[in-house]
């Protein structure tokens, strides 16, 4: 049996603490939708009596099969994760799944030994409770899977309807506090020279990040891990990179994409630039200036080396002026908590990446990027309706007509309100609606409220709707039955007006927790980027860099800044003129 990649796989690289708050949330729904979950993913399975998922998504794009030294099959993300010293909390860098106690204890040295031990971070008790559904590590280091009484498989996951407390937000310090998917030993790469927190030794500037991957130690480590994952793929369609933009990890990500472009030219490189929620300029002036500089350098360098770059944030703008976070009508979240933000952005990301994760007729990473990034428009925006607003008695045509001419999603790229702005091309995914409501259910002979109600398939409804909204835009749409799962450890963010399936209830709330939701997600090549990128350049022009010499000391020169401003203006100009690809 060949282990590793099956089908059109891709390697996934996450660089940064904040981005992996999203990444750790992102791999949860991917595993939960897997039709062939292996032992260590038992807690991600559907309940034993649940209806099998339709199998629309191919988990092998994100995951790989393997085998431990004890012969047990594993299913782990095809992932390289770069983070800082102190960011792992109770998580072992080498992963507990492949731990071999006997080999660990075998020491060849017969002389005197001095043992140094560190205080072990206690595992989050709520996460431990969730993981206990899978099994436990025995005293001899072998993972033992729990079996349900009738012997037909692992213990089913406790659903959100069970009166069990969710993970308190005060217990979430780092992303590993709620990560419940096992990682491969080659996944985690810790940058030891910088600290996760504290007052000193922080990775703050773009130049610092670039220099990390100029060091042979980290460069070789990244290259070794890349080759391990790439060489096992039957077909490598490309790389998906999650990268913090606001700190020095923007430099790490920029250097990583440069290396990928040099070695794997022709493969897709899709980069997601993550930004935290709104800052307070008065409270953190240096951090805000650094955020502005790192974001600008990151966007320009990443767009030069990637097939597509998409900033993701719940903030209102990329600039220094603090705008309020975006609003979702049926979500109650705290924009200052990475745990909350990660769940929302990972839900959007899990939806907009559907085109290249389909089992049948997938669009490759390169094809998706080519459709959206013509004429130098390498930066795109994202948006999502979480959840997609639908009343149980409605059909999809009813819901779309009810939206009127408004943009059907909330913007998620810190580019302000994109309503009414020109769109050049877009890729849209709607998931989680029952097939019965895809088309109109009106009694024959009833006058049709709109042309959408005359469509005979859900795909036709979506295509017709976007043709009406933006007739000169090249638009691709996908309609899936598979919803987005929001079982624990997904935070409880949903309004009491939602049903267990995420639909807007007509009746009074039942009190049952939401388990899955329909989601509408979109990637757009939007004219709003002309102003967003132009404003970013203007704010940089106003900076007195003599006050921020420490940023320049990290490896960025005055000439680099002047070149950055020119590149930002050139990138912004790509989003001027012409209505669409078909002009």
Kindly report, residue by residue over 452-469, the tens digit of the pLDDT.
999 999 999 999 999 998
> Whose CA is closest to 79, among 301, 284, 228?
228
The whole-angstrom separation of Cα 12 and Cα 87 is 19
The whole-angstrom separation of Cα 501 and Cα 481 is 12
* Mean pLDDT, residues 22-47 taken together: 38
Q: State the pLDDT at residue 259.
A: 95
* Cα dist from 319 to 278, 282, 534, whole Å: 10, 14, 10
Q: State the pLDDT at residue 33.
A: 37
**Which of 316-320, 419-423, 485-489, 557-561 shows the lowest per-residue confidence on average (mean pLDDT)?**
419-423
Q: State the pLDDT at residue 352.
A: 97
Q: What percent of the chain has pLDDT over 90?
A: 48
* 518 compared with 550, residue with greater pLDDT: 518
* Cα dist from 365 to 10, 24, 123, 269, 308, whole Å: 9, 21, 37, 7, 9
**C-alpha dihedral sign at 305, 307, 311, 312:** negative
**Which of 115-129, 176-190, 267-281, 548-562 shows the lowest per-residue confidence on average (mean pLDDT)?**
115-129
The tally of CA atoms less than 13 A away on the side-chain side of residue 155 is 15
Q: What percent of the chain has pLDDT over 70?
A: 75
> Whose CA is closest to 306, among 360, 242, 246, 216?
242
How would residue 380 be classed by pLDDT, with cut points 50, 70 and 90? very high
- Helix (H) and strand (E) counts for the chain? 14, 17
| Per-chain mean pLDDT for the chain | 81
**Which of 327-331, 442-446, 501-505, 514-518 shows the lowest per-residue confidence on average (mean pLDDT)?**
442-446
* Cα dist from 381 to 411, 467, 579, whole Å: 8, 19, 17
Q: How would you label 493-516 residue by residue, b for 16+ Cβ within 10 Å and e otherwise?
A: bbeeebbbbbbbeeeeeeeebbbb
Q: State the pLDDT at residue 302.
A: 97
* 257 compared with 12, residue with greater pLDDT: 257
Return the SS3 of 523: strand
Contacts of 17 (CB under 8 A, 6+ apart): 83, 84, 87, 174, 175, 196, 244, 249
Q: State the pLDDT at residue 110.
A: 64
Q: State the pLDDT at residue 338.
A: 85
* Cα dist from 261 to 264, 306, 423, 447, 549, whole Å: 5, 8, 28, 56, 31
pTM of this structure = 0.86
* Mean pLDDT, residues 30-52 taken together: 35
* 47 compared with 134, residue with greater pLDDT: 134
- Kind plus residue range of the DSSP H or E element containing 310: strand 308-312
* Mean pLDDT, residues 249-267 taken together: 95
Q: State the pLDDT at residue 466.
A: 93
Q: Return phi, psi of residue 516, to 5°.
A: -150, 160
The whole-angstrom separation of Cα 352 and Cα 346 is 10
> Which residues on adjacent β-strands are paired with residue 484?
517
* Mean pLDDT, residues 317-346 taken together: 89
Q: State the pLDDT at residue 555.
A: 78
How would residue 38 be classed by pLDDT, with cut points 50, 70 and 90? very low
pLDDT of 287 > 70? The answer is: yes
Query: For the chain, percent helix, then strand, then coil, each to nearest 5?
Result: 35, 20, 45
pLDDT of 575 > 80? The answer is: yes
pLDDT of 581 > 80? The answer is: no
> Whose CA is closest to 81, among 94, 90, 69?
94
pLDDT of 531 > 60? The answer is: yes
- Find out whether 99 and 92 touch, Cβ atoms under 8 Å: yes
**C-alpha dihedral sign at 144, 146, 149, 150:** negative
pLDDT of 131 > 60? The answer is: no
* Alpha-helical runs (H) found in 182-284: 206-212, 216-230, 249-263
Q: State the pLDDT at residue 459.
A: 96
Token pair in block for residue 3: 């282990």
* Mean pLDDT, residues 365-376 taken together: 94
Contacts of 518 (CB under 8 A, 6+ apart): 387, 388, 390, 430, 431, 432, 433, 483, 484, 501, 502, 503
Q: State the pLDDT at residue 422.
A: 87
* Alpha-helical runs (H) found in 269-422: 285-305, 338-352, 365-372, 396-403
pLDDT of 20 > 70? The answer is: no
Q: Is omega for the bond preceding 460 within 30 degrees of 0, making it cis?
A: no
* Cα dist from 477 to 363, 426, 480, 483, 544, whole Å: 11, 8, 10, 16, 46
**Which of 66-70, 170-174, 487-491 shows the lowest per-residue confidence on average (mean pLDDT)?**
170-174
The whole-angstrom separation of Cα 214 and Cα 251 is 11
pLDDT of 215 > 50? The answer is: yes
């Amino acid at each position: 049996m060949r282990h590793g990649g099956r089908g059109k796989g891709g390697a996934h690289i996450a660089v940064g603490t904040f981005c992996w708050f999203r990444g750790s949330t992102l791999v949860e729904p991917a595993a939960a939708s897997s039709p062939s979950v292996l032992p260590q993913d038992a807690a991600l399975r559907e309940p034993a009596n649940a209806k099998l998922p339709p199998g629309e998504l191919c988990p092998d794009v994100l995951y790989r099969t393997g085998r431990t030294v004890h012969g047990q099959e594993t299913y782990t993300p095809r992932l390289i994760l770069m983070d800082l010293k102190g960011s792992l909390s109770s998580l072992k860098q080498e992963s507990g799944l492949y731990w071999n106690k006997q080999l660990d204890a075998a020491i060849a040295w017969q002389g005197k030994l001095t043992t140094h031990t560190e205080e072990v971070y206690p595992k989050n008790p709520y996460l431990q409770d969730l993981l206990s559904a899978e099994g436990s590590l025995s005293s001899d280091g072998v993972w033992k899977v729990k079996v349900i009484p009738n012997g037909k498989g692992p213990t089913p996951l406790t659903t959100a309807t069970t009166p069990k407390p969710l993970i308190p937000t005060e217990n979430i310090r780092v992303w590993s506090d709620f990560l419940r998917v096992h990682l491969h030993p080659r996944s985690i790469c810790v940058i030891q020279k910088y600290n996760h927190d504290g007052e000193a030794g922080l990775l703050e500037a773009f130049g610092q990040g670039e220099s990390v991957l100029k060091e042979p130690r980290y460069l070789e480590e990244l290259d070794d891990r890349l080759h391990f994952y790439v060489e096992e793929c039957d077909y490598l369609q490309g790389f998906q990179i999650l990268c913090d933009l606001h700190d020095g990890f923007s430099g790490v990500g920029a250097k990583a994409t440069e290396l990928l472009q040099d070695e794997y030219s022709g493969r897709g490189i899709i980069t997601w630039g993550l930004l935290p929620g709104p800052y307070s300029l008065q409270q953190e002036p240096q951090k805000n200036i650094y955020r502005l500089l790192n974001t600008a350098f990151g966007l320009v360098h990443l767009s030069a080396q990637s097939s597509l770059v998409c900033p993701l944030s719940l903030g209102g703008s990329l600039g220094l002026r603090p705008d309020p976070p975006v609003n979702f009508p049926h979500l109650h979240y705290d924009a200052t908590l990475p745990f909350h933000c990660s769940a929302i952005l990972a839900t959007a990301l899990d939806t907009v990446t559907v085109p290249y994760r389909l089992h049948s007729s997938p669009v490759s990473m390169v094809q998706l990027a080519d459709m959206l990034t013509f004429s130098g428009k390498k930066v795109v925006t994202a948006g999502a309706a979480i959840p997609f607003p639908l009343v149980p008695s409605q059909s999809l045509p009813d819901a779309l007509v009810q939206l009127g001419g408004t943009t059907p999603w909330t913007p998620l790229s810190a580019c302000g309100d994109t309503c009414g702005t020109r769109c050049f091309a877009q890729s849209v995914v709607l998931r989680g609606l029952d097939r019965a409501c895809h088309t109109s259910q009106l009694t024959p002979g009833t006058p049709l409220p709109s042309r959408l109600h005359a469509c005979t398939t859900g795909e036709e409804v979506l295509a017709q709707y976007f043709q009406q909204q933006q007739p000169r835009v090249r638009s691709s749409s996908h309609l899936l039955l598979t919803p987005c799962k929001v079982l624990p450890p997904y935070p409880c963010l949903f309004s009491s007006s939602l049903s267990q399936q995420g639909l807007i209830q007509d009746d009074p709330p039942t009190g049952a927790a939401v388990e899955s939701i329909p989601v509408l997600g979109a990637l757009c090549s939007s004219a709003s980027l002309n102003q967003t990128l132009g404003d970013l350049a203007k704010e940089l022009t106003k900076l007195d860099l003599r006050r921020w010499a420490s940023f320049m000391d990290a490896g960025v020169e005055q000439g680099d800044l002047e070149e950055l401003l020119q590149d930002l203006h050139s990138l912004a100009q790509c989003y001027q003129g012409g209505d669409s690809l078909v002009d």
